[in-house]
Structure formats: structure tokens, C-alpha cells
């Protein structure tokens, strides 16, 4: 089963204690697709300017990623610049230029409406909800009309500025993937356990709380599950780790075709494994050179580490 991702393809300028990269290829849809493509075919919906080197996405095309939904508009591509602290968890945004991404209104082709797995990357919640409306397909085998698994991401900007719209979007998704500080902000809380439980009341059937170097936690109405991050000795650049985690998570669910709590737990492990590779180099460089054999080996090592 394939996956539809709607997000950004962008230029990132990043400085970390290990070095820096300027105008490197980034964006939520790029990182997500690079990870998810190891598990299932991916369709990308995004927008770039005519300054974007489309050939830089050739490695995705070679890995069952369809980028024909990437719109090229006259103007400049979305740009983000940031700097990470010594602990690699805290970062400071230096500059954000929306450029052609401003006013982005995704349009789904007919084939996009048949995907059973949809990931709504960090976008305006109005846009996320519009994509869900377009993704309705009455011809689905279960006759529900909606995709089988819809996951989304968000950030403090939308939580603070468009809370009402975001809450409306969350009522229609299955999984919210969010970091710990944003989870607390979303429900104005101080305890992650209670925050996750309150988020479930907003609509999602599962919440994945990303905790950076401290791992991730899954919360459903019936179960809790936590994993550490895979130990990486040389962290170079954490940019995109959350989207890469989401790619491994959704990729596993799409490949397995399962949706139960057990599948969500296993998807957490795959997400963590993919994120651990991402942080080993700037941009998507490590994901470009990654092999399935390396993923299998690290997954097996991780399972040995977390299994009593």
C-alpha cells in the first residue's frame, strides 16, 4: 500500500557544533519520503520555486517515490535557517522565508485519493483539513470513504495562532506525532501523561510524543509504550529527525497493512531506527546512501537493546 505525504521541499541552512551546511536540501516531505520509501511507494505533494534543483530528488525517484505532484512556481523556494545548541536538542531559528510556499494550496490528483495512508506534515491546519477533504474516496473497499490511517504533525506556531482550526483538524486524524513541549502547549499542561490523555480526547486514537535524544512515547486509549532513542555516538545534524521518524513509522504501517496497537509499537521502533540514521550527517546525505541491509542490522540491534 502506498503513502501520500503533503509537506515541504525546501532549502535549509543549518549550523551545529559539528559544522554547517548552507542551502542544503530539506523540508518535511523530503525527509519523510526518504525514510518511508524503504517500506512502501510514496506520492509527494509540495511546492518549490524555479530555483530548486529538481535533479537533487533523483535518489527519491529511484526509490519508488513519485514527485510528479511537486509543483514548480515562479519565485524562490521555502528557506529555513537555524542553529543547534551543544546538546543538539535545543535549536534557534535564525530565518524563515516562506516564498512560494506562502499561500500553498495542494491539489490532489485522482490517484492521490486512493492511498490508504496519509501523512499531513507540519502545515497550516486549514490546509491539512482541506487535503483530508480531497482524500475522501467513496470507492474504498471498506466504503468509509476516508483513508485507513491519517497521521499529522504540527508545531507551536499553529498551536498558538490557529488553535481552533488545529483542533478541528485533529478531530479527523488517527495519529498525532508531536514533540514533548508542543504536546504540553496544545493542552496547556505540565505533565506529559495527562497531556497525552487529553489529546486523545480531541480525536486521535494514538499520540506519539517525540522526546529527542530521550526517545519517544506512544499513547492510546488502551496502552502506553515507550522506547529510547537508538544510541548514536556522532550526532551531526538533528534537522528532519522528526519527519524521518514519521517516515519510518508510517512506512512500516503501510508495508504491514496492520493498524492495531502491536503494529503501532513496532512502527515506533522503525521510526526510531530511521531517525538515528538521519542525524549522522547534514541534510538527507545519510539517507541517500542508506541501504536496506543497514536498516535491518540496526533494527535487529535495537530490538536486542530494548527486549528483556
Delineate the domains of the chain, giving CATH numbers in brackets.
3-306 (3.40.1190.20)
Please report, for residues 132, 149, 168, the alpha-carbon distance to residue 165 in angstroms, rounded to integers and kept in the order given.
14, 20, 5
pLDDT of residue 90: 84
Residue 277: closest CA among 226, 227, 243: 243
Q: Are 215 and 225 in contact (CB under 8 A)?
A: no
pLDDT of residue 187: 92
Question: Which residues, 6+ apart, have CB-to-CB distance to 295 below 8 Å?
Answer: 38, 273, 274, 277
Name residues of the chain where pLDDT drops below 70: 138-145
pLDDT of residue 141: 57
Q: Are 125 and 176 in contact (CB under 8 A)?
A: no
Q: Write out pLDDT tens, residues 148-171.
A: 899 999 988 899 999 999 999 999
What angle in degrees, to the nearest 10, is found between the helix axes of 261-278 and 28-36?
110
The residue length of the chain stands at: 308
What DSSP element (H or E) covers 150? strand 149-153
pLDDT of residue 157: 86
pLDDT of residue 198: 95
Amino acid at each position: 500500500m502506498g503513502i501520500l505525504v503533503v509537506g515541504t521541499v525546501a532549502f535549509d541552512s543549518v549550523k551545529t557544533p559539528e559544522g554547517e551546511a548552507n542551502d542544503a536540501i530539506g523540508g518535511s516531505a523530503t525527509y519523510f519520503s526518504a525514510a518511508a520509501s524503504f517500506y512502501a511507494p510514496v506520492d509527494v505533494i509540495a511546492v518549490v520555486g524555479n530555483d530548486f534543483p529538481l535533479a537533487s530528488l533523483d535518489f527519491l525517484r529511484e526509490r519508488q517515490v513519485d514527485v510528479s505532484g511537486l509543483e514548480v512556481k515562479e519565485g524562490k523556494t521555502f528557506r529555513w535557517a537555524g542553529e543547534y545548541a551543544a546538546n543538539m536538542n535545543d535549536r534557534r531559528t535564525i530565518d524563515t522565508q516562506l516564498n512560494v510556499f506562502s499561500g500553498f494550496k495542494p491539489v490532489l490528483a485522482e490517484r492521490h485519493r486512493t492511498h490508504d495512508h496519509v501523512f499531513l506534515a507540519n502545515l497550516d491546519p486549514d490546509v491539512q483539513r482541506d487535503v483530508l477533504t480531497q482524500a475522501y474516496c467513496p470507492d474504498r473497499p471498506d466504503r468509509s470513504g476516508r483513508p485507513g490511517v491519517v497521521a499529522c504533525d504540527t508545531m507551536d506556531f499553529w498551536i498558538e495562532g490557529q488553535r481552533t482550526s488545529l483542533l478541528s483538524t485533529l478531530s479527523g486524524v488517527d495519529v498525532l506525532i508531536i514533540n514533548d513541549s508542543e504536546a504540553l502547549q496544545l493542552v496547556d499542561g505540565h505533565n506529559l501523561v495527562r497531556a497525552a490523555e487529553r489529546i486523545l480526547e480531541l480525536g486521535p486514537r494514538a499520540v506519539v510524543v517525540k522526546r529527542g535524544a530521550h526517545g519517544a512515547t506512544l499513547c492510546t486509549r488502551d496502552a502506553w509504550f515507550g522506547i529510547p532513542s537508538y544510541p548514536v555516538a556522532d550526532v551531526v545534524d538533528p534537522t528532519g529527525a522528526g519527519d524521518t521518524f514519521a517516515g519510518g513509522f508510517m512506512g512500516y504501517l503501510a508495508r504491514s497493512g496492520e493498524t492495531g496497537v502491536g503494529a503501532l509499537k513496532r512502527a515506533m521502533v522503525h521510526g526510531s531506527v530511521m531517525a538515528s540514521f538521519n542525524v549522522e550527517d547534514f541534510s538527507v546525505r545519510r539517507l541517500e546512501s542508506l541501504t536496506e541491509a543497514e536498516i535491518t542490522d540496526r533494527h535487529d540491534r535495537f530490538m536486542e537493546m530494548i527486549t528483556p
